[in-house]
Chains A and B, each alone.
Chain A
Amino acid sequence: MLETDTQTDFVEIRFEAGLPGFPHVHAFQLRTWGPPGSPYLNLRAVDDPDVGFVVVPPWVFYPDYEFDLDDATAERLGLRVADDAIVLAVVTLRDRPDEATLNLLGPIVVNRHTHEAAQVVLPTTSYSVRAPLAIAS
């Protein structure tokens, strides 16, 4: 999905505005993670070992997921067409795998060319911050 440097197994992405709840963390490493063939990725703050997330393309679990990106965010991230963007949703792991949830209200959008990223707030949708993940297992 992202072209990684041949010397490394990750790409560095940058949230200029930080993440809600973590406004001071900007640089993250994004790497594929999990068992072989896993769609999950690990998003880890470069400068803060306590900040890391599991993320996944939302369409793996919600094939019909869609949203309109606001113009201001698209411009800020330098996105001209939808294909410029990689969209990821934050997974919240809980005690049991089947209790895990997906944040569909605040997707992460990454410019695949510049690696500029933002977590978007979708104000006018009915998507949940805690959408169930164990829908088909």
Chain B
Amino acid sequence: MLVLTRRANQSIMIGHEIVVTVLEVRGDQVRLGIKAPRSIDVHREEIFAQLQQANRDAVRPSPDVDDLPGIPHRADEGTR
């Protein structure tokens, strides 16, 4: 892992287009500003990891209709 030391208001560049700026350091928290092209997604890592795991857990190549939960009945849908 590349390790760099930066102070508030200093930045690093990743490639030609991504700029990460340290905005503020306060106690054990660091505020970062990220400038990136719109094609690049920026996420908090733990949230993204949560979503990766959720997708892996959800994979069902051939799901079974019998495993489906029932659909809530709504009064405005009438009866069948």
Query: Count the A residues whose beta carbon is within 8 Å of the partner chain — how many?
Result: 46
B51 touches A21 (CB 8 A): yes
Q: For the complex, what is the distance from the CA of A39 to the CA of B70, rounded to whole Å?
A: 10
B52 touches A93 (CB 8 A): no
Query: Which of B48, B55, B58 has the most A CB atoms < 10 Å from its CB?
Result: B58
Instruction: Considering the complex, give the chain B residue whose CB is closest to the CB of A137.
Output: B70
Query: Count the B residues whose beta carbon is within 8 Å of the partner chain — how many?
Result: 32
CB-CB under 8 A from B68, the residues of chain A are 34-35, 38, 40, 54, 93, 97, 100
A90 touches B58 (CB 8 A): yes
CB-CB under 8 A from A52, the residues of chain B are 59-63
Q: For the complex, what is the distance from the CA of A92 to the CA of B58, rounded to whole Å?
A: 4
Q: Which of A6-14, A79-87, A128-136 makes up part of the contact surface? A: A128-136
A54 touches B72 (CB 8 A): no
Shortest distance between the CB of B53 and any CB in chain A (Å): 7
